[in-house]
Amino acid sequence: MKIPGIASAVPLSLVFLALMVLGSYGRAQVSEQMTPLLLAVQDAPVPFTGSDGRVHLVYELEMTNFSSAEILVEKVEVFDDGVSLQTLDTTAVAERLQPAGMRESVGTLARSTRALLFLNVVLAPGAKVPAELSHRVALRVSAAPAGQQEFDQSGGKTTVDRRPVASIGPPLRGMRYISADSCCDAVRHTRAALPVNGRVWVAQRYAVDWEQTDAGGHIYAGPRDKLESYAIFGQPVLAVANAVVVSVIDGEPEQTPGNYPTNIPLDKADGNSIILDLGHQRYALYAHMQPGSLKVHRGDKVQLGQVIGLVGDTGNSVVPHLHFQVTDGPSSLSSNGLPYEISEFQVTGATAGTKAFDEAESNGTPLPITPVAPPHTVKQAMPLDQLIISFAPH
């Protein structure tokens, strides 16, 4: 194979890259460019209003390095009809780009690697919701000839999914709840992309692990390994809408708080759990409840606010908490997370972040909280990550 300017002995990978930088040879009627980084969006974002009053577009931009060389992703821009909505610089990309099956993020994609860039596009106040999004990515391909290593690539067009967002009631009642690992930049739920039944799903995209503090800011007081030490243990769990029960799992034993359970099979990870059919292809999952506390059966109709169980520590759970999520299917893993908006709640504070929360949860020390005074009443919004929240009655 003879390529102008390239020695015939060079590896095929470099020929490939040379083709990319040399462009077309004039035979094709349309302009052709090698695009070693393939961009795609599998699940269109569903816009929703967060408790910050802003509209968020949360989705994953899939990147495939279809080459035999490393690619550094230097910049990613998100566009609405040619207008830039968000720019991620090299550092921001490196915090949000995760190779398939990895929990660690990277800035450089190894050869032949597929990855997801987890995006949270926050619209300016009052801005119209885009109909379609597109992307421009600035790359550095180290194996390309000097001076031709950096170039831009566009792709990953997606529509914006304008299906109505579920409006629901609160899953709990009372004060001082923590919206742990909620949307949109926390990693443990929003980035839980899992290959199940032949497809990648992000069922936990908008999941929350609800925890609670006592009046002194402690997540637990007393022995760490005792269920009753935890402020949230035994709190009533509420139906978030008039709904039909489609799945009930009961009989799973409590874990010992503070210990990560081992060898939990996939079908027992939710512990004692309930899935409600909210209608319009939306399903609410409640996980980790107390054994024997589930008050409903498959096929039952429940009413908004009805107590359906008690908060426990069953399944894949390290401390008592309520895992709550809404998805587009009646399963906890092979479905896609959907946003929802809670009709009304109060934000009374914000924690110092996930790291501080993890420390308070481990050590039983007071959770550092910046109060919101007076408390901020929020209507029709999703509680964002690491807020202190009261639900009526409070």
Cβ-based nearer residue to Zn ion, 209 or 211: 209
Closer to Zn ion by Cβ: residue 106 or 202: 202
Q: Closer CB to Zn ion, residue 209 or residue 250? A: 209
Hey, CA dihedral for 41, 46, 50, 55, is it positive or negative? positive
Contacts of 122 (CB under 8 A, 6+ apart): 50, 52, 54, 55, 56, 57, 86
Q: From residue 326, how far is each of 190, 339, 379 by CA, in Å? A: 13, 7, 18
Q: Which residue is nearest to Zn ion (CB)?
A: 323
Residue 203 zone, left/alpha/beta (φ > 0; ψ -120 to 50; rest): alpha
Closer Cβ to Zn ion, 209 or 361, answer by number? 209
Instruction: Give the nearest distance from C-beta 243 to Zn ion in angstroms.
Output: 20
Contact assessment for residue 226 and residue 253, using Cβ atoms and an 8 Å cutoff: no
Instruction: Please identify, using beta-carbon distances, which residue of 62 and 211 lies nearer to Zn ion.
Output: 211
Q: How far is the CB of 287 from Zn ion (least distance, A)?
A: 7
- Provide the minimum distance between the beta carbon of 355 and Zn ion in the complex, in angstroms, as a whole number: 17
The minimum distance between CB 273 and Zn ion, in angstroms, equals 11
DSSP annotation string for 85-133:
EEEE-HHHHHHHEEETT-SS--SEEPTT-EEEEEEEEEPPTTPPPPSEE
Does residue 191 belong to the site contacting Zn ion (CB under 5 A)?
Answer: no
Q: Which residue has the tokens 């974002």?
A: 45
**Nearer to Zn ion among residue 80 and residue 209 (C-beta):** 209
Could you say whether residue 270 binds Zn ion (CB under 5 A)?
A: no
Taking CB under 5 A as the criterion, which residues in 51-80 touch Zn ion?
none
DSSP-derived letter for residue 290 is: P
Structure-token pair, residue 304:
């908004």
Stretch that binds Zn ion, among 67-75, 250-258, 299-307, 316-324 (CB under 5 A): 316-324
CA separation for the pair 394, 391 (Å, rounded): 6
Q: Which residue has the tokens 């802003």?
A: 54
Q: Cβ distance 119 to 185 under 8 Å?
A: no
CA distance 149 to 196: 37
| Binding positions for Zn ion, 135-164, rule CB under 5 A | none
Minimum CB distance to Zn ion, residue 189 (Å): 6
Which CB sits closer to Zn ion, 113 or 314? 314
Question: At closest approach, how far in Å is the CB of 160 from Zn ion?
Answer: 27
Q: What is the distance in angstroms between the CA of the first residue and the CA of the last residue of the chain?
A: 75
Q: Does 323 bind Zn ion (CB under 5 A)?
A: yes
DSSP single-letter state for residue 355 = H
Kindly identify the residues of this chain, within the stretch 7-26, that bind Zn ion according to CB under 5 A: none
Region near Zn ion per CB under 5 A, out of 46-54, 159-167, 244-252, 320-328: 320-328
Closer to Zn ion at the Cβ: 145 or 261? 261
CB of 57 to Zn ion, least distance (A): 22
Work out how close the CB of 332 gets to Zn ion at its nearest, in angstroms, rounded to a whole number: 10
DSSP track, 267-286: GGTT-EEEEEEEETTEEEEE
**Which C-beta is closer to Zn ion: that of 96 or that of 323?**
323
How many Å separate Cα 141 from the centre of its chain? 29
209 binds Zn ion (CB under 5 A): yes
Least gap, CB of 207 to Zn ion (angstroms): 5
> What is the total count of residues that contact Zn ion (CB under 5 A)?
2
Asked if 384 contacts 49 with a C-beta cutoff of 8 angstroms, the reply is no
- Indicate whether 288 belongs to the interface with Zn ion (CB under 5 A): no
> Considering only residues 363-392, where is the footprint of Zn ion by CB under 5 A?
none
Within 10 angstroms of residue 238's Cβ, the number of other Cβ atoms is 22
Query: Quick one: which segment of 7-15, 42-50, 118-126, 203-211 binds Zn ion (CB under 5 A)?
Result: 203-211
The contact set with Zn ion (CB under 5 A) reads 209, 323
